[in-house]
Amino acid sequence: MDDFYKEYILDHYRNPRNFGHLEHPTAVAEDLNPLCGDKVRMELSVGADGKIDDVKFTGKGCAISQASTSMLTESLMGKTLPEVATLSQDVVLENVGIGISPTRMKCAMLGLKVAKSAALGEIATWPDEAGH
């Protein structure tokens, strides 16, 4: 976990990419993580070719939630909404690298959950989330 707070994580935390709002978003979702009080709102714009051509997010919370969301916005560019809706947690794990403790997994996955919810038009759930 001490390895987790790498230079690029802190950079995304302190200088989040694609932070702000879109004028005319195609799909929007927001959610919070009640454990940490992390909040993320994501706005997606889909072009005529069906691919995401712009993403903005706003949020506040821990470095893990905000940096992983910032990195995710870069990964979403060029994907279709059905592709976003079926993204697995691997996309976040690949972005942030190793070392997230199980207790902080929800922080890391908040941005992805919101992106998938925007793409689906309903709240996305994880297969392992039952009972939480």
Partner 1 sequence: MSVTTSSVDERAAQIAADFPILQTHTSRGKRLVYLDSAASSQKPKVVIDSLVDYYSNYNANIHRGVYEIAARATDAFEAARAKVARFVNAAQTEEIIWTRNTTEAINLVSFSWGLTNLKPGDAILTTQLEHHSNLVPWQLLAAKTGAELRFIEADDDGTLRLDNLDELLRGVKLLALSHISNTLGSIAPLAQIIPRAHAAGALVLVDGAQSVPHLPVDVQALDIDFLAASGHKMCGPTGIGFLYGKRALLDAMPPFLTGGDMIKSVAYESATFNEVPWKFEAGTSNIADAIALGVACDYLDAVGMPWIREHEVRITRYALERLRALVPRGLEIYGPARAEDRGGVISFNFADIHAHDLASILDLEGVCVRAGHHCTMPLMDKMNWSATARASFYLYSTEADVDALIAALEKAAVVFKIA
State the residues that interact with partner 1 by CB under 8 A.
Answer: 1-2, 5, 10, 14, 35-39, 60-64, 101, 103-104, 107
Q: Find the DSSP H helices in the chain.
A: 7-14, 63-76, 81-85, 90-96, 105-120
Instruction: Specify the residue, 70 or 81, whose C-beta has the smaller distance to partner 1.
Output: 70
Which of 69, 72, 81, 76 has its CA nearest to residue 120?
81
Instruction: Specify the residue, 101 or 125, whose C-beta has the smaller distance to partner 1.
Output: 101
Residue 115 has a CB neighbour count (10 Å cut-off) of: 31
Smallest distance from the beta carbon of 21 to partner 1, in angstroms?
19
Smallest distance from the beta carbon of 43 to partner 1, in angstroms?
21
